[in-house]
Amino acid sequence: MPLCMGCLNEIPAADSVCSVCGFNNAEKQTAPFLPFGTVLNNKYVVARNLDTNGESTRYLGYDKTNGRIIAIREFLPIGLFDRGADETKLFVSPQDKDAFSAALSAFQSYYEAVMSISDNSAMIPVIDAFAANNTYYVIEENDDLISFNEYVEHNGGHLEWEVARPLFMPIITLLENLHKLGIGHYAVSPSNLFVTSSGKLQLGGFSTENERKRGTMLKSQLYSGCAAPEQYTGDIPLDVPTDIYGFTATLFFALTGKLPANAKDREKDPRLLISTNTVKRLPPHVVSALANGLQMKRENRISDFDDLRSQLSVSSTVQAIQNEISRTASMTPIKREQARKSNVNPTAVGIIAAIFSLLVFASLGLWWLSQNPHLGIFDKKPTTVVTEPPTIEGWTGDVLADYTGKTLQEVAAAYKGEIKVSSDGDYSDDVPKGAVISQEPVAGTPDSYGVLYLVISKGPHLQTLPEVVGKSSKAAAEELTELGYIVTQEVEFNSQYAEGKVIGYKDYKGGDKVETDTEIVLIVSRGEQPADNNTNE
């Protein structure tokens, strides 16, 4: 029996619509993608297109020799070739020949290097590569994988450090091995991570540097929130700190449920906004490693993978104690004898001194951050405890008012200094949408009319879906969009509802509690299905 080009399940020869996935096999694959059923290297069958970037496209595929589902990646640089409908070979114009050849050579060399380490369990294995049709193909495994985004969603929207650590640490080794070969990934993001049926994390989405930075011959694909600042400029080389930024941003997403702001936006406000509750449940050394790996300036960022491992594995306090023990252990016999005669344990003294010094520096650091709120990396989320304004001895000037619960317009009318708003806001069941959740500096702080940082409420995270049956599709879409949902539509014939009226939700019903930012599909009526006017002769 033939295979469905949408899911690769067998379908009866007489059927065109797959009963498993609903794919219509009578349709053709749109040019410039390969036609359905194309056989490559005498064994790989091409099915539907999965995703595309400026350098290559990826198809669902079938290996005829062993019956396994695979992924087929084809070098397909946008703007540098032509291929008509139902054709397989690429044609390159004389003016694009040099650029095409250079990009093809880089792509082939890159994947030859990737294949040399494809037995690494932290990457999606590359099992074959070959030239054909004036281009180059890479065959990847594609069995039993779920997207990392889906995995995090099914685990409550974020992972605990104890869960994330064993998943992510092998990815560091994989990136390290790539850079030893003289190449990098430069697109570590939730979109390129997958979880296997055995619970391992695997990295995919490999592309050359031409695809992972602005200013090259290819149309670049950068992942917002995970792409490092240097990827947005064409004159700075990509290297280890670039991949460390993407890795740390992805780990940040795993632990907090949110990506950092886009690097271009962070040029204006570099802070990483982490809720107090999140900070409390994460080990302090992990929070510190996140901040160090996401530094905007490359010279301040973690610069090698050993340092990244160390910062994620051992807290600074423990490391200081270990260093002090090592230092004491290396004392000369004379010094140890002097310490013994004075009845003082040198190791204990070292540990106490290290801890005392760290406490002093921590206290000074906290005081300094409190005096410089614009340098902080955390936002203060509302709690059920009402805090009293700080005691300010001798201060007779103005102090900051409490703006929580007020709209941005109300704050702008009352505050004389500059106002900056967190780009993504936050959800709140207590503070109405559009009102201030928190401010920094806090109310009662001496007012120097500097910068006031605000976090604005996006309303409740869970909203109740309104009843939309019978409403016009426009009215229903507007209502849902206002609540924070992403609205799409599907149409079908229906004799009960006039054309343009909503029949209902695709996957939900009115009254369901659904997270905002969820895609909501409305089923909209096309009206009554017209009668078949064909008659038998």
- Taking CA atoms, 48 is separated from 12, 34, 63, 135, 395, in Å, by 19, 9, 14, 19, 70
What number of other Cβ atoms are within 10 A of residue 183's Cβ? 19
Rounded to the nearest 10 degrees, the angle between the axes of helix 284-293 and helix 240-256 is 140
Phi, psi of 192 (to 5 degrees): -110, 10
pLDDT along the chain (537 residues), means of 10: 93 88 93 96 96 95 95 96 93 94 97 94 95 97 89 95 95 96 97 93 96 92 96 90 98 96 91 83 91 94 94 60 46 45 50 51 47 41 36 62 91 88 75 88 76 84 90 90 83 92 93 85 90 50
State the pLDDT at residue 532: 61
362 Cβ partners below 8 Å, 6+ apart? Answer: none
Cα separation, 110 vs 182, in Å, equals 9
Residue 317 one-letter amino acid: T
Residue 261 per-residue DSSP state: P
Q: Which of 306, 312, 247 is nearest to 282 (CA)?
A: 312
Say if strands 519-525 and 486-492 run parallel, antiparallel, or are unpaired. parallel
User: What tokens were used for 177?
Assistant: 């091995």
Residue located via tokens 């379908």 = 11
Cα separation, 115 vs 135, in Å, equals 18
168 Cβ partners below 8 Å, 6+ apart? Answer: 201, 247, 250, 251, 254
417 Cβ partners below 8 Å, 6+ apart? Answer: 447, 448, 449, 450, 451, 452
State the pLDDT at residue 351: 52
Residue located via tokens 């030239």 = 131
What three-state secondary structure class fits 256?
helix
CB distance 166 to 88 below 8 Å: no
Angle at 287 between CA 283 and CA 293, to 5 degrees: 140
Q: Which of 232, 153, 244, 168 is nearest to 201 (CA)?
A: 168
State the pLDDT at residue 352: 53
Phi, psi of 497 (to 5 degrees): -120, 140
532 Cβ partners below 8 Å, 6+ apart? Answer: none
Q: Which of 371, 377, 365, 232 is nearest to 295 (CA)?
A: 377
Find the farthest-apart pair of alpha carbons in the chain and give their distance in angstroms, rounded. 118
